[in-house]
């Protein structure tokens, strides 16, 4: 009987069975950032421990780093203190650190792949739930809490129970104007925000075969929004091509050996899955959220659900609560909902291809007068590459602000925040209450091109119509 990639990686990385029955799992690569690591280093000091394998931990600053002010000290003294803490910890414990001066700083899930740190068949953990992004390379990657950050710093391992594997096939052809973001929003809509609990999602089928690495990253990134702690795509030629020549990728003979091992780690053709879901690509519409959970999503040309459409009392309460918070009317079209802010960026959609695709259509268009629009590259490298292609200019000429790299308005721990009940068309990953920095701020998740369409028209719009894409 064949094995899945998950099973192979799990077996090869199991160190021991712990007394409670969990597995002590070796974590090949540990990524850290300024928000969830200071306490872990504090615990390490309290216990008098060192970092066991400092060369396996990589740090950067992303969550709270300002996107307009790029020199320390930062005007927010709390943010400044946290970044100073990371500076100190990286130095003291000998951890590689892509800081603001490195030219390589950025969102940790953009930096890892960019540097070739993210590799197939490895285990990757980070104190951030969007770590599944790295699964796009055939890694088993997942988010952890701060105590587990401590565990990995101290031992390069953590306690974990195995996951089941759900294979999600998307086959056929995506219609024009439908992107990888729509695919994952559609999957979450179908399977629910808690539907992936206990599972790693293995994404496959012709759509994933055809996707670029960046498109695969967008899907894997949001696995957690569907309740799956990890999500991955089996490595293939595209994976190897992406990684070849990157700073941390194997070189020379090592490269050939690595590729052979990576090929072998992919799921076997006769692998057995705990569950299989099949989706027709033609059924995936440009998707937008309407509520306060990522599974509260509809096609852009659908109506916002009514309270009565809920199938049970809990669901009706959830719909009502979401409609009230979002100030939307059940039964009304979502299209035409006025927006205040447009945000293109985040670990979901802050890579070069995202900005390139938007720029293709944004050229010559103007952001609506009442909309504040910001574009935040996922890393300093994305920023430089975009500038080389003149993409930043297309954005700024249209009326977007082009910022420095970071998480920015995805979770608004830096000065980029919604104000009051502003409504944001956002390429990020969470529409939770208050997520974008204001306790009453509202978020509608969508693909980057849909954000551009909303920015230009000043309301939720169908990018296919705004940019004359033939459907």
Contact flag: residue 227 with other proteins (CB under 8 A): yes
Contact flag: residue 437 with other proteins (CB under 8 A): yes
User: 368 to 407, contacts with other proteins by CB under 8 A?
Assistant: none
Contact flag: residue 64 with other proteins (CB under 8 A): yes
User: CA-based angle 163:115:27, to the nearest 5?
Assistant: 30
User: 230 to 249, contacts with other proteins by CB under 8 A?
Assistant: none
Contact predicate 10/23, CB 8 Å: yes
The tokens describing 129, both together, are 């739930």
Q: Which one among 4, 60, 105, 293 touches other proteins, defined by CB under 8 A? A: 293
Closer of 99 and 171 to other proteins (Cβ): 99
Distance CA 206, CA 373 (A): 35
Please name every residue paired with 96 in a beta bridge, in sequence order, or none if there are none: 58
Distance CA 454, CA 442 (A): 15
Closer of 141 and 371 to other proteins (Cβ): 141
The least CB distance from residue 129 to other proteins, in Å, is 4
The least CB distance from residue 249 to other proteins, in Å, is 12
Contact flag: residue 197 with other proteins (CB under 8 A): yes
Contact flag: residue 21 with other proteins (CB under 8 A): yes
The least CB distance from residue 218 to other proteins, in Å, is 18
Task: Specify the long-range contacts of residues 302-306, CB closer than 8 Å, at least 24 apart.
Answer: 302/333, 302/334, 303/331, 303/332, 303/333, 303/334, 304/328, 304/329, 304/330, 304/331, 304/332, 304/333, 304/334, 305/330, 305/331, 306/330, 306/331
Contact flag: residue 174 with other proteins (CB under 8 A): no
Distance CA 56, CA 153 (A): 9
| Interface stretch with other proteins, choices 98-106, 180-188, 194-202, 301-309 (CB under 8 A) | 194-202
Distance CA 451, CA 13 (A): 41
Distance CA 266, CA 192 (A): 27
| Interface stretch with other proteins, choices 20-28, 93-101, 338-346, 374-382 (CB under 8 A) | 20-28
The least CB distance from residue 210 to other proteins, in Å, is 28
Q: Which one among 81, 102, 245, 336 touches other proteins, defined by CB under 8 A? A: 81
User: 92 to 121, contacts with other proteins by CB under 8 A?
Assistant: 121
Please name every residue paired with 318 in a beta bridge, in sequence order, or none if there are none: none
Contact flag: residue 193 with other proteins (CB under 8 A): yes
The site that binds other proteins (CB under 8 A) totals a number of residues, namely: 80
The least CB distance from residue 170 to other proteins, in Å, is 23
Contact flag: residue 91 with other proteins (CB under 8 A): no
Contact flag: residue 421 with other proteins (CB under 8 A): no
Q: Which one among 62, 128, 215, 459 touches other proteins, defined by CB under 8 A? A: 128
Contact flag: residue 159 with other proteins (CB under 8 A): yes
Contact flag: residue 206 with other proteins (CB under 8 A): no
């Amino acid at each position: 009987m064949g094995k899945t990639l998950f099973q192979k990686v799990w077996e090869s990385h199991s160190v021991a069975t712990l007394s409670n029955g969990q597995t002590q799992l070796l974590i090949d690569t540990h990524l850290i950032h300024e928000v969830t690591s200071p306490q872990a280093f504090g615990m390490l000091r309290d216990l008098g421990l060192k970092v066991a394998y400092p060369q396996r931990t990589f740090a950067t600053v992303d969550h709270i780093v300002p996107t307009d002010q790029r020199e320390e000290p930062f005007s927010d003294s709390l943010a400044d203190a946290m970044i100073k803490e990371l500076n100190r910890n990286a130095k003291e414990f000998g951890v590689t650190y892509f800081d603001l001066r490195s030219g390589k700083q950025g969102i940790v899930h953009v930096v890892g792949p960019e540097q070739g740190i993210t590799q197939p068949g490895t285990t990757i953990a980070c104190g951030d739930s969007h770590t599944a992004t790295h699964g796009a390379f055939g890694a088993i990657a997942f988010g952890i809490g701060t105590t587990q950050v401590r565990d990995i710093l101290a031992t390069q391992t953590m306690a974990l129970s195995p996951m089941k594997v759900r294979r999600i096939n998307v086959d056929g052809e995506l219609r024009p104007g439908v992107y990888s973001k729509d695919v994952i929003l559609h999957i979450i809509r179908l399977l629910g925000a808690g539907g992936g609990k206990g599972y790693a999602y293995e994404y496959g089928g012709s759509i994933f075969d055809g996707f670029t690495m960046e498109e695969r990253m967008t899907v894997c990134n949001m696995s957690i929004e569907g309740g799956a702690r990890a999500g991955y795509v089996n490595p293939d030629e595209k994976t190897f091509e992406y990684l070849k020549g990157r700073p941390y990728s194997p070189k020379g003979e090592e490269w050939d050996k690595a590729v052979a091992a990576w090929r072998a780690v992919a799921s076997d053709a006769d692998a057995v899955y705990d569950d299989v879901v099949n989706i027709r690509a033609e059924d995936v519409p440009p998707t937008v959220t309407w509520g306060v959970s990522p599974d509260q999503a509809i096609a852009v040309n659908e109506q916002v659900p009514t309270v009565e459409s809920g199938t049970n009392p809990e669901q009706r309460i959830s719909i009502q609560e979401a409609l009230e918070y979002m100030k939307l009317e059940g039964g009304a079209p979502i299209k035409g909902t006025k927006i205040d802010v447009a945000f293109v960026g985040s670990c979901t959609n802050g890579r070069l291809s995202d900005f390139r695709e938007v720029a293709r259509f944004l050229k010559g268009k103007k952001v609506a007068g009442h909309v504040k629009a910001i574009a935040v590259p996922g890393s300093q490298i994305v920023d430089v590459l975009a500038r080389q292609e003149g993409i930043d200019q297309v954005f700024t000429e249209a009326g977007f602000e082009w910022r420095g790299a970071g998480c920015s308005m995805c979770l608004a721990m830096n000065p980029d925040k919604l104000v009051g009940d502003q409504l944001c068309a956002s390429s990020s990953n969470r529409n939770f209450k208050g997520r974008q920095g204001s306790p009453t701020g509202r978020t509608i998740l969508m693909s980057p091109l849909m954000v551009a369409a909303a920015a230009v028209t000043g309301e939720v719009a169908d990018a296919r119509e705004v940019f004359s894409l033939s459907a």
